[in-house]
């Protein structure tokens, strides 16, 4: 019988959650967007992707999701191709990629994240119960019947996380989760993520460097090349300087290709 653990058995604990080897990618115009990228995220680790606008952060997330075919190299998620691993991955896209005015209820939005578990006859009672339990965990059970369009930014972010969690992922990918929410809601959001990180790998793209410093095991700097920093390289002082200036202030004592001078975080 095959093992069904989420990487807690010794065999699976040694399989990287994410593994990129020498990955190259260009959109159709042929300009390289990701070059020779190598990345490994092991079970128990979480990562935060940072870099200038246009550096390739969202592209990298889409590569992890198998939405963009790479030109060369290899991508493995839980030791499989992104397509094979898709059921184990939850994704929250950037806020502006969603039509917030689309007339759907909160429950309908959350159930969209459970489509892979739907039967020929639609969602089962247990799917709705699971969706409710996720809303409850995120502290928004009372919003179930509300229209998504009528929610505040912070509430919508939580609903979108609920949608990503509804598929019961082992890897959660979040693109700019704190964009468009006020600082109070951001604080609650961090607490939710801290909880989630205890049971799954969370990889976020973030402009919020306070978030980077607090929440992550790996800082994944993306600007065509991918360079990994441990938080120990990334002091509060460094984070402050980066926050006010630019990413070139990351303490690079090796050949880092970030070159984010002038890039806005
Ligand atoms: P980031 O998320 O770091 O802001 P992106 O991954 O969105 O960066 O974009 C990286 C580069 O790829 C940018 O130069 C952007 O203009 C380009 N790009 C993004 N999406 C597309 C696309 N669908 N077609 C062509 N170029 C794209």
pLDDT > 90: what percent of the chain? 48
Length of the chain: 265
- Asked if residue 114 is part of any domain, the answer here is yes
- Asked if residue 7 is part of any domain, the answer here is no
Q: Is the pLDDT of residue 171 over 50?
A: yes
pLDDT at 201: 96
pLDDT at 11: 60
- What is the count of structural domains for the chain? 1
Six token digits for residue 184: 């109070």
Best probe residue, ligand 1, of 59, 61, 260 (max atoms within 8 Å of C-beta)? 59
- Asked if residue 5 is part of any domain, the answer here is no
SS3 call for 83: helix
Average pLDDT, the chain: 81
Find the CATH number of the domain harbouring 157.
Answer: 3.40.50.300
Q: Which domain holds residue 128?
A: 16-260
pLDDT at 229: 82
Report the alpha-carbon distance of residue 164 to residue 245 in Å, rounded.
33
- Asked if residue 6 is part of any domain, the answer here is no
Dihedral angle over CA of 200, 203, 204, 209, nearest 10: 100
The residue that leads in pLDDT, 234 or 175, is 175
- Asked if residue 81 is part of any domain, the answer here is yes
Residue closest by Cα to atom 26 of ligand 1: 27
DSSP string, 48-78: EEE--TTSSHHHHHHHHTT-S--SEEEEEET
57 Cβ closer than 6 Å to some ligand 1 atom: yes
- Asked if residue 195 is part of any domain, the answer here is yes
Q: Residue 78 phi/psi, 5° resolution? A: 50, 35
- Asked if residue 11 is part of any domain, the answer here is no
Give the orientation angle of helix 183-197 with respect to helix 153-166, to 10 degrees.
20
The model carries a pTM of 0.83
- CB of 16 closer than 8 Å to CB of 226: no
Q: Is the pLDDT of residue 174 over 80?
A: yes
Q: Is the pLDDT of residue 263 over 60?
A: no
The residue that leads in pLDDT, 53 or 262, is 53
């Amino acid at each position: 019988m095959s093992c069904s653990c989420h990487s807690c058995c010794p065999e699976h604990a040694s399989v990287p959650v994410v593994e990129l080897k020498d990955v190259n990618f260009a959109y159709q115009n042929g300009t390289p967007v990701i070059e020779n990228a190598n990345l490994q995220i092991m079970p128990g680790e979480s990562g935060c992707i940072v870099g200038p606008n246009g550096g390739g952060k969202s592209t990298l997330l889409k590569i992890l999701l198998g939405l963009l075919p790479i030109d060369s190299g290899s991508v493995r998620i839980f030791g499989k191709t992104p397509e094979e691993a898709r059921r184990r991955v939850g994704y929250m896209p950037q806020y502006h990629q969603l039509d917030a005015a689309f007339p759907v209820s909160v429950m309908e939005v959350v159930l969209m994240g459970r489509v892979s578990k739907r039967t020929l006859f639609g969602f089962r009672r247990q799917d709705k119960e699971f969706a409710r339990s996720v809303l409850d965990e995120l502290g928004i059970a009372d919003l179930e019947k509300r229209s998504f369009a009528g929610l505040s930014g912070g509430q919508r972010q939580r609903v979108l996380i609920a949608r990503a969690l509804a598929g019961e992922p082992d890897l959660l990918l979040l693109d700019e989760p704190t964009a468009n929410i006020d600082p109070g809601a951001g604080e609650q959001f961090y607490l939710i993520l801290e909880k989630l990180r205890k049971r799954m790998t969370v990889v976020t793209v973030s402009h919020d460097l306070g978030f980077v410093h607090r929440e992550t095991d790996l800082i994944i700097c993306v600007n065509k090349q991918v360079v990994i920093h441990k938080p120990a390289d990334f002091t509060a002082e460094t984070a402050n300087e980066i926050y006010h200036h630019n990413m070139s202030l990351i303490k690079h004592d090796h050949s880092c290709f970030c070159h984010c001078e002038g890039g806005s975080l």
